[in-house]
């Protein structure tokens, strides 16, 4: 076979000469354009991550300095004293409350009557507002005219008398219209005889007459209370002694606290010293005024650059440690003695409830107190604090205290647990709703319903979160609280709720917000299940429900799980709603309270960043701590996303 030359027809499929730029033809340019755009997105993401990481990770060395300062100034030791006092106060407040309730119980009936009188007075006053005002005005006028005298005064006095008379008539008229049923606020209903007496007394009082009955009532209350106090004298004395027993420890505490706070100031000053010095020197260089210049230079020279000595700073603490150990021991012994004198049973029901809890309170106190004692005894400012401590106290710390004049603490746990709590509430509510809706729309609903439900649910996504937050504050909060106060719902943990703004409220709103995300993705996953599976299953004689549960949902499961994970990511990252609705109380949830913690106000990782970033100084420890929180959020989102992708890749439908 002879070879053909390329000169003939084959030219047709050679590259044609045409538009070229930098050695690229048109196709190449388009390719690079699109590729470039994708590249930009990736580069920006990398830059953001790098920036976040850089700002955040410098947190740990600075945090370490802070922890060291807390120890070197002796503040840490004062912290033990502080905790001891707080632990002891739990006992005193419990006992005081029980005692006061008992005293109140002795005069329960009289107090109730007094309350009724109070309410009646209110009712009267509301009805005779105008008349009372007239009396006041005319009296004032007469008072002014007194100095003028003459006819005008006479007229004014007449008017005043007239107004007073009208008021009296009005009071009498009003009294006729007030019955036992008019009372709505007081819980205790007085008997009809008592009520009449109260009404008469209140009427008299309003008319400006003597009210011996009411005075008598007040006297009775005082007398009875005194009698009761006499009866429970031992109890009362014990309570007072308990409170007084704290005094030595408190004195010690306040003295040391002052010294160590001053130490801390020194440390802070030393930290900023180089900067201040430089500022003064710069200022001196820039002024022309020779006097000022000299002044500034002198000031700059006077700036102390040496760091305060830890040994010196803690001297005072060591000096007082022996005394502290004696004082705390005395307090413990005294408390044990006094606790024996607290009666375990009195006559009032509610104070008995408190007294019943007393042994438990005492046990907690003993445990905590002895632990603190050990710590105080072993304390030394020379103990090294390692880097890992800085990391651990951030991630596992249970307190987040900022802008305090004493010592700032950055612990992630209260925020992390708040965020997780809200996210879990939201996901538990959102998943059943959105997955069920997706199944219904995809598998059961007719085209009309589909066209109604799908856009409606997807519209939720378009609601600005600030609007939802607003709704949470104005409507949902009140609704939930009123709802939780229904008596037959009291068995639900956390009900009745104390606060309108709390984790449950935020969780409900976030559930609502995440429904479209989960719904849309889950519906996609269901839609990707080949119709052939449905046909095959139905042709085998299974019902629609069996087909959905046994074939379609299992096939789409990986997609549904991915949808839930992405929905979770959306919930964790949501800021506005939680900032407005979660209640913003930074505290570890009381896990011993069981599910009741779900109705407590809480704070979140996103919320704290939004709330505090605006007011911190750039580059400060607080600022970096917020970045670190952001970094944690970023990592969580990244993990959730890659987990979702992993699930899809691993278990995604293989058809």
Partner 1 sequence: MVIEMNQETATLGDMPTESTVGTIKGKTMIECKNVSFSYDMGKTNTLDNITLDIPEKQVTALIGPSGCGKSTFLRCFNRMNDLIDTARITNGTIRIMGQDIHASDVDPIELRKRVGMVFQKYNPFPKSIFENVSYGPRIQGIKDKKKLKEIVEQSLVGAALWDEVKDRLNSSAFGLSGGQQQRLCIARAIAVQPEVILMDEPCSALDPIATAKVEELILELRKNYTIVIVTHSMQQASRISDNTAFFYLGKLIEYDATATLFSTPQQKQTEDYISGRFG
Residues that bind partner 1 (CB under 8 A): 446, 530, 532-533, 535-543, 546, 550-551, 554-555, 653-655
CB 537 within 8 A of CB 550: yes
Quick one: 218 or 540, whose CB is closer to partner 1?
A: 540
Quick one: 42 or 539, whose CB is closer to partner 1?
A: 539
CB 332 within 8 A of CB 369: yes
User: How far apart are CB 522 and partner 1 at their closest, in Å?
Assistant: 18
Q: How is residue 639 written in tokens?
A: 């993990």
Task: Give the whole-angstrom CA distance, residue 121 versus residue 100.
Answer: 27
Q: How is residue 378 written in tokens?
A: 């072993």
User: How far apart are CB 519 and partner 1 at their closest, in Å?
Assistant: 23
Helices 247-286 & 75-106 angle (0-180, nearest 10): 130
Quick one: 261 or 453, whose CB is closer to partner 1?
A: 453
What is the distance between the terminal CA atoms of the chain, rounded to a whole angstrom?
A: 49
The residues facing 24 across adjacent strands are 21
Task: Give the whole-angstrom CA distance, residue 425 versus residue 329.
Answer: 46
Provide the 10 A C-beta neighbour count for residue 311: 11
Q: Which residue has the tokens 């896990």?
A: 591
User: How far apart are CB 567 and partner 1 at their closest, in Å?
Assistant: 24
Quick one: 448 or 462, whose CB is closer to partner 1?
A: 448
Provide the 10 A C-beta neighbour count for residue 291: 8
Quick one: 164 or 524, whose CB is closer to partner 1?
A: 524
User: How far apart are CB 399 and partner 1 at their closest, in Å?
Assistant: 51
**Radius of gyration (C-alpha) of the chain in whole angstroms:** 38
Quick one: 446 or 455, whose CB is closer to partner 1?
A: 446
Quick one: 513 or 552, whose CB is closer to partner 1?
A: 552
User: How far apart are CB 648 and partner 1 at their closest, in Å?
Assistant: 14
Quick one: 150 or 446, whose CB is closer to partner 1?
A: 446
User: How far apart are CB 537 and partner 1 at their closest, in Å?
Assistant: 7
Quick one: 210 or 449, whose CB is closer to partner 1?
A: 449
Is residue 116 classed exposed, middle or buried when 0-12, 13-18 and 19+ CB atoms within 10 A define those classes? buried
Task: Give the whole-angstrom CA distance, residue 567 versus residue 347.
Answer: 56
Quick one: 196 or 449, whose CB is closer to partner 1?
A: 449
User: How far apart are CB 417 and partner 1 at their closest, in Å?
Assistant: 40
Quick one: 18 or 447, whose CB is closer to partner 1?
A: 447
Output the 3-class SS for 485-526.
Answer: CCHHHCCCCCCCCCCCCCHHHHHHHHHHHHHHHHHHHHHHHH
User: How far apart are CB 545 and partner 1 at their closest, in Å?
Assistant: 10
Task: Give the whole-angstrom CA distance, residue 564 versus residue 521.
Answer: 9
User: How far apart are CB 439 and partner 1 at their closest, in Å?
Assistant: 17
Please spell the DSSP secondary structure of 189-232, one letter per residue: PPPHHHHHHHHHHHHHHHTT---HHHHHHHHHHHHHHHHHHHHT
Backbone angles phi, psi at 179, to 5 degrees: -125, 180
User: How far apart are CB 538 and partner 1 at their closest, in Å?
Assistant: 7
Please spell the DSSP secondary structure of 81-106, one letter per residue: HHHHHHHHHHHHHHHHHHHHHHHHHH
User: How far apart are CB 518 and partner 1 at their closest, in Å?
Assistant: 22
Strand, coil or helix: 465:
helix
Quick one: 114 or 537, whose CB is closer to partner 1?
A: 537
Task: Give the whole-angstrom CA distance, residue 515 versus residue 434.
Answer: 5
User: How far apart are CB 427 and partner 1 at their closest, in Å?
Assistant: 27
CB 481 within 8 A of CB 423: no
Task: Give the whole-angstrom CA distance, residue 418 versus residue 600.
Answer: 10
Exposure class string for 189-221: b at 16+ Cβ within 10 A, else e: ebeeeebebbbebbbbbbeeeebebbeebeeeb
User: How far apart are CB 543 and partner 1 at their closest, in Å?
Assistant: 6
User: How far apart are CB 536 and partner 1 at their closest, in Å?
Assistant: 5
Quick one: 146 or 535, whose CB is closer to partner 1?
A: 535
Quick one: 560 or 629, whose CB is closer to partner 1?
A: 560
Element (H, E) at 410: strand 409-410
């Amino acid at each position: 076979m002879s070879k053909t030359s390329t000169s003939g027809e084959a030219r047709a499929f050679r590259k044609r000469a045409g538009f070229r730029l930098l050695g690229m033809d048109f196709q190449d340019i388009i390719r690079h354009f699109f590729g470039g755009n994708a590249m930009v997105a990736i580069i920006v993401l990398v830059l953001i991550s790098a920036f976040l990481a850089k700002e955040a990770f410098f947190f740990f060395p600075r945090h370490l300095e802070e922890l060291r300062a807390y120890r070197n100034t002796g503040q840490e030791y004062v912290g033990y004293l502080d905790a001891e006092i707080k632990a002891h106060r739990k006992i005193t407040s419990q006992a005081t409350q029980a005692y006061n309730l008992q005293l109140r119980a002795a005069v329960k009936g009289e107090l109730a009557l007094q309350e009724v009188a109070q309410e009646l007075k209110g009712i009267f006053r509301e009805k005779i507002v105008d008349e009372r005002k007239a009396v006041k005005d005319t009296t004032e006028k007469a008072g002014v005219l007194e100095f003028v005298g003459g006819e005008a005064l006479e007229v004014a006095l007449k008017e005043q008398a007239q107004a007073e008379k009208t008021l009296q008539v009005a009071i009498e008229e009003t009294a006729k219209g007030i019955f036992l049923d008019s009372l709505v606020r007081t819980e205790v209903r007085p008997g009809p005889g008592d009520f009449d007496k109260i009404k008469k007394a209140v009427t008299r009082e309003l008319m400006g007459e003597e009210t011996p009955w009411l005075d008598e009532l007040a006297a009775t209350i005082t007398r009875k209370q005194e009698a009761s106090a006499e009866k429970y004298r031992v109890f009362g004395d014990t309570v007072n002694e308990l409170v007084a027993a704290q005094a030595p420890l408190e004195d010690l505490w306040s003295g040391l606290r002052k010294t160590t706070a001053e130490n801390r100031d020194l440390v802070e000053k030393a930290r900023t010293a180089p900067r201040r010095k430089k500022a003064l020197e710069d200022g001196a260089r820039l002024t022309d005024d020779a006097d000022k210049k000299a002044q500034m230079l002198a000031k700059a020279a006077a700036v102390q650059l040496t760091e305060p000595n830890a040994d010196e700073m803690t001297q005072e603490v060591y000096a007082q440690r022996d005394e502290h150990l004696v004082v705390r021991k005395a307090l413990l012994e005294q408390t044990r003695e006094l606790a024996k004198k607290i009666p375990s049973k009195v006559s009032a029901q509610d104070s008995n409830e408190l007294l019943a809890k007393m042994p438990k309170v005492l046990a907690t106190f003993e445990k905590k107190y002895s632990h603190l004692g050990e710590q105080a005894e072993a304390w030394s400012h020379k103990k090294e604090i390692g880097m890992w401590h800085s990391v651990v106290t951030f991630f596992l710390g249970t307190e987040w205290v900022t802008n305090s004049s004493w010592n700032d603490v950055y612990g992630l746990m209260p925020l992390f647990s708040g965020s997780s709590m809200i996210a879990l509430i939201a996901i538990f509510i959102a998943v059943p709703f959105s997955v069920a809706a997706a199944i219904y729309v995809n598998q059961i609903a007719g085209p009309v319903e589909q066209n109604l439900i799908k856009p409606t649910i997807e519209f939720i996504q378009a609601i600005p979160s600030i609007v939802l937050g607003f709704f949470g504050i104005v409507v949902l909060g009140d609704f939930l609280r009123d709802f939780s106060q229904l008596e037959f719902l009291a068995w639900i943990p956390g009900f009745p709720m104390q606060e309108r703004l709390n984790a449950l409220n935020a969780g409900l709103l976030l559930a609502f917000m995440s429904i479209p995300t989960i719904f849309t993705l889950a519906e996609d996953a269901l839609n990707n299940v080949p119709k052939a599976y449905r046909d095959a299953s139905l042709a085998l004689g299974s019902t629609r429900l069996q087909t959905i549960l046994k074939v379609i949902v299992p096939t789409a499961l990986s997609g549904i799980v991915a949808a839930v994970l992405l929905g979770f990511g959306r919930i964790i990252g949501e800021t506005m709603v939680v900032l407005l609705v979660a209640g913003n109380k930074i505290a570890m949830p009381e896990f011993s309270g069981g599910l009741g913690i779900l109705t407590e106000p809480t704070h979140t990782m996103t919320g704290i960043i939004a709330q505090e970033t605006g007011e911190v100084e750039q580059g400060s420890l607080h600022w970096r701590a917020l970045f670190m929180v952001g970094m944690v959020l970023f990592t969580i989102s990244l993990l959730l996303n890659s987990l979702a992708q992993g699930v899809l890749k691993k278990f995604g439908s293989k058809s």
